[in-house]
Each structure stands twice: as structure tokens, then as C-alpha cells.
């Protein structure tokens, strides 16, 4: 796999000042296509060498009779690392050796170091048998997932396979909740809330987003991010007097709400949440505005209309099937995205479930820059770039 990927790479192969189009008879699309292939080949090569690097560190354990501290000291001196950084490298090397299938994917260049770290961090605390089972389940699809998607899938598998252990970890994590302020070199500061309840986090996010959209005017020079930051600061410093309650969009099976099942629920933009959290959200509806999408056995009832604007029921259904923007790797919640007509309304495209999909505003604009896409029979999508390259996304199972 690794050697095949390298052979596909083209590299630039140009002298300074040479033009690939004028001097080598290539079209711009051909040259761009080759550069993308080259970048993939070099990424695979980097992953291969990183796998070998960590294999060497793990092998040092045998040299130093499994003394982790001696290995870390040697690595710190050789690579000019701090003690903590060297210990982190040694620990990750040990974890990769614990999961040879993850190491093999990295060595073959099929996943990168970022993906390998997400997998390792997601299973590190689990017993060996459980961790190995989870890794074997996630690895077949790992090469096609972004780190965000991979982290979400692992979390859902943990909720499904080890609900008690995951609940205990969540409880312990909540005990570590804290607010932290740190300084930036430019004199600004960062404000962080760590280890808070996900339903609270998404409620805060939605409230800030709503107030920011209301505050943003046509002539406001601030960006959307700047407005959201300003609104959040205002809310923490004083009451705005608007009195609007927060909304969280929750996708949950009826059996879970009835405590007949412990299947995870889903908060678009956050990811899977434990059944206990879903029921907690439902119980707090007297104090907050919660919008629910109920499913049964993972299925949502379909509706349709010939109007240009979809009905509220259609919006809920689309968001249930596609909780995030359908662009490859995008994690923008569907609730903050446009409902795009795959076949444009102006060209006779119907306002129906089969012709609608969420695209965030940024990726919606990409359609005007030469990108196109279509829905596949399995519910996934095939995207075609201006270079003619094709990227296929699979259909996520319901509540993923």
C-alpha cells in the first residue's frame, strides 16, 4: 500500500521559474491533480517514517530492561525534548506496540499520526480485551474518517460496549470541571470551560449563536466569530434582558427516552451522548427549550412538499438523517447549515427529502466555485472537485 501510494506521487520536478503549463504541456487541471496525488504520497511517506520512529522508541525498552524513565531520558537528550515531552513520546510508542494493527495502518500510510493518536487516546483506559475489540471495529473505516468523525465513532462505540465504565469516566471527568484563563503573546486572553456537561455546553453554544445572529446587522464590520465572542462576554458580565431560553437539538430513540434501551442519543455538532444524558435533557424541558427528533429503530418518518422552502417537519427529518454538513469531513451542525437543493430549485429540483441536504454556508458557496455533488443510493454523497477528483462519503448510521 505504502509503495503504491509513493508511485502515484508526482512531485514538482521543476526548476525555479518553470511553468508546468507552459513548459511541460500540462493543463492546469492535470497539474493540480498531480500535486494532490503528490501530497497524498508524501503524507503516506511521513506516516511510514513516524511509525518507524515510534517502533524504534518501543524497541529501546528492551535495551533498558523495560525501564520507561531511562528510555525517556535517552530520547529527551537525543531529540532535545523536555522530560514531559519525552515521556509522552515513550508512552505513545508503548501504546502503539499494544495495538499492532494501528501501528500497521500508520506504517502503510493509510492513516496519519493524528488519526492514530485519536484511536489510542480513545481506548487507552480500557482493559485489553475491550480495547482490542473496539479497535478492531473502528479500524476498517478509520482511513476514510477525519479525526472529528473518528473521535465521535469511538465515543459511540464506548457508550455501546462499555456504558458502565464510560459513565464512571464521565462522572470522574465532571469532577474535574474548571474555568481557566490563559494569556496569549499578543496581550489577549483565552477563556476555557473544561469538563462540563455536554448538554450544558450545547445549550450555551446555541444561546450565544442565537443572540449573535440577532445582534449582527448588515453594517456591522465584525465577523460572525467576533460577534459570538462579544455576545458570550456580555452574557457572562451582565444580563442582556432578552429572556430567551437556550435550545438543544436532540436526536433520540423513543425506547431510550422510555428507559427501555440504553442506546446513545445524538446532539448535532457535539456527537453521541449517553442515554442517561438524553433523558436528563428531556427532563429539563420545563426550564429550557429542547427540540426533539424521535426515531424508532433508527428510522425517521419521511415527508415531502413541492414548495421551495421545506416545512419544519422536513427540516427535522433532514437533520435527523444528516446531523452535520454533508461535505467530506465537515462537522458543522445541520441546524447551523443551509438546506441545499441537490438539483437547484431554479432547474426544476423539488423541495423533497431526496433532493435536500445540509451544507454549511462556506461549503454551500463552493458549489459556485466549480464543485458538484450527488446523493448515492446508500444515502452517502459523491463530490467532484474543479480538478475532476472524486470524493465519496458514506452514509452514517442513524444517531451517529
Q: In this structure, are 204 and 169 located in the same domain?
A: no
Domain boundary among 221, 237, 253: 237
| 8 A C-beta contact, residue 173 and residue 194 | no
Indicate whether 66 and 192 sit together in one domain: no
Q: Are residues 66 and 137 in the same domain?
A: yes
Do 221 and 194 lie in a common domain? yes
Residue 261 lies in a domain: no
Q: DSSP code of 188?
A: -
Give the SS3 label for residue 86: helix
CB-CB contact of 207 with 246 (8 Å)? yes
Structural domains of the chain, count = 3
CB 236 within 8 A of CB 300: no
| Whether 115 and 28 share a structural domain | yes
Tell me the pLDDT band of 4, cut-offs 50, 70 and 90.
very low
Q: Residue 227 — φ and ψ, nearest 5°?
A: -65, -45
168 and 217 in a common domain:
no
Is the model's pTM score more than 0.85?
no
Residue 399 scores a pLDDT above 50: no
Residue 292, domain member (yes or no): no
In a domain, 192, yes or no: yes
Q: Are residues 27 and 166 in the same domain?
A: yes
Task: Please tell me whether residues 44 and 68 are part of one structural domain.
Answer: yes
pLDDT digits (tens, 9 = 90+) for 58-107: 999 999 999 999 999 999 999 998 889 999 999 999 999 999 999 999 99
Instruction: Answer whether residue 364 is part of any domain.
Output: yes
The cell numbers describing 340, all together, are 441545499
Domain end, chosen from 237, 254, 278, is at: 237
pLDDT digits (tens, 9 = 90+) for 230-261: 999 888 877 545 555 555 567 777 677 767 78
**54 confidence band (pLDDT: 50, 70, 90):** very high
Q: What is the mean pLDDT of residues 162-179?
A: 87
Shared-domain flag, residues 37 and 98: yes
Looking up residue 327, the CATH number of its domain turns out to be 1.10.30
399 falls within a domain: no
Kindly state the percentage of the chain with pLDDT values over 70.
80
Instruction: Please indicate, yes or no, whether residues 202 and 339 belong to a single structural domain of this protein.
Output: no
pLDDT band of residue 286 (cuts 50, 70, 90) is very low
How much is the average pLDDT of 116-135? 91
pLDDT at 301: 42
- Give the single-character DSSP code of 225: H
Q: Residue 215: inside a domain, yes or no?
A: yes
Distance CA 189, CA 84 (A): 25
| Domain membership of residue 329 as a residue range | 323-393
- How do strand 189-194 and strand 178-183 relate by DSSP bridges? antiparallel
Q: What is the pLDDT of residue 351?
A: 74
Q: Does 209 share its domain with 130? A: no
Residue 14 confidence class, pLDDT cut points 50, 70, 90: low
In a domain, 248, yes or no: no
Which residues have C-beta within 8 Å of that of residue 333, sequence separation ≥ 6? 249, 268, 269, 323, 324, 325
Angle at 141 between CA 138 and CA 142, to 5 degrees: 75
Which single residue is written with the C-alpha cell 515513550? Answer: 90
Say whether both 215 and 350 belong to one domain: no
- Strands 372-375, 381-384: pairing kind: antiparallel
User: What is the pLDDT at residue 268?
Assistant: 72
With respect to residue 267, please indicate whether it lies within any of the assigned structural domains: no
Amino acid at each position: 500500500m505504502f509503495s503504491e501510494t509513493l508511485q502515484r506521487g508526482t512531485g514538482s520536478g521543476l526548476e525555479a521559474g518553470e511553468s508546468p503549463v507552459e513548459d511541460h504541456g500540462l493543463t492546469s487541471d492535470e497539474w493540480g491533480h498531480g500535486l494532490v496525488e503528490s501530497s497524498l504520497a508524501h503524507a503516506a511517506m511521513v506516516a511510514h517514517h513516524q511509525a518507524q520512529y515510534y517502533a524504534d522508541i518501543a524497541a529501546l525498552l528492551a535495551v533498558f530492561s523495560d525501564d520507561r524513565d531511562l528510555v525517556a531520558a535517552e530520547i529527551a537528550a537525543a531529540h532535545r525534548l523536555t522530560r514531559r515531552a519525552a515521556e509522552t513520546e515513550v508512552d505513545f510508542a508503548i501504546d502503539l506496540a499494544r495495538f499492532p494493527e494501528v501501528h500497521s495502518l500508520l506504517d502503510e500510510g493509510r492513516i496519519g499520526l493524528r488519526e492514530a493518536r485519536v484511536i489510542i487516546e480513545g481506548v487507552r483506559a480500557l482493559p485489553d480485551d475491550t480495547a482490542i475489540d473496539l479497535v478492531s471495529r473502528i479500524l476498517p473505516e478509520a482511513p476514510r474518517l477525519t479525526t472529528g468523525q473518528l473521535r465521535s465513532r469511538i465515543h459511540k462505540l464506548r457508550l455501546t460496549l462499555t456504558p458502565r465504565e464510560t459513565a464512571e469516566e464521565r462522572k470522574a471527568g465532571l469532577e474535574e470541571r474548571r474555568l481557566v484563563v490563559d494569556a496569549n503573546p499578543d496581550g489577549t486572553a483565552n477563556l476555557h470551560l473544561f469538563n462540563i456537561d455536554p448538554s450544558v455546553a450545547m445549550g450555551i453554544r446555541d444561546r450565544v449563536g442565537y443572540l449573535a445572529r440577532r445582534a449582527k446587522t448588515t453594517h456591522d464590520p465584525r465577523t460572525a466569530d467576533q460577534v459570538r465572542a462579544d455576545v458570550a462576554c456580555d452574557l457572562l458580565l451582565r444580563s442582556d434582558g432578552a429572556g430567551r431560553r437556550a435550545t438543544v437539538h436532540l436526536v433520540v430513540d423513543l425506547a431510550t427516552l422510555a428507559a427501555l434501551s440504553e442506546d446513545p442519543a445524538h446532539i448535532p455538532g457535539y456527537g453521541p451522548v449517553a442515554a442517561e444524558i438524553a433523558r436528563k435533557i428531556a427532563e429539563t424541558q420545563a426550564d429550557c427549550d429542547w427540540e426533539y427528533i424521535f426515531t424508532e429503530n433508527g428510522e425517521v418518518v419521511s415527508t415531502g412538499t413541492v414548495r421551495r422552502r421545506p416545512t419544519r417537519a422536513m427540516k427535522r427529518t433532514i437533520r435527523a438523517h444528516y446531523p452535520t454538513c454533508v461535505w467530506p469531513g465537515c462537522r458543522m451542525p445541520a441546524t447551523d447549515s443551509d438546506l441545499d437543493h441537490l438539483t437547484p430549485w431554479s432547474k426544476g429540483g423539488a423541495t423533497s427529502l431526496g433532493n435536500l441536504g445540509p451544507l454549511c454556508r462556506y461549503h454551500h458557496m463552493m458549489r459556485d466555485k466549480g464543485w458538484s455533488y450527488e446523493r448515492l443510493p446508500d444515502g452517502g454523497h459523491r463530490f467532484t472537485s474543479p480538478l475532476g477528483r472524486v470524493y465519496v462519503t458514506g452514509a452514517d448510521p442513524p444517531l451517529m
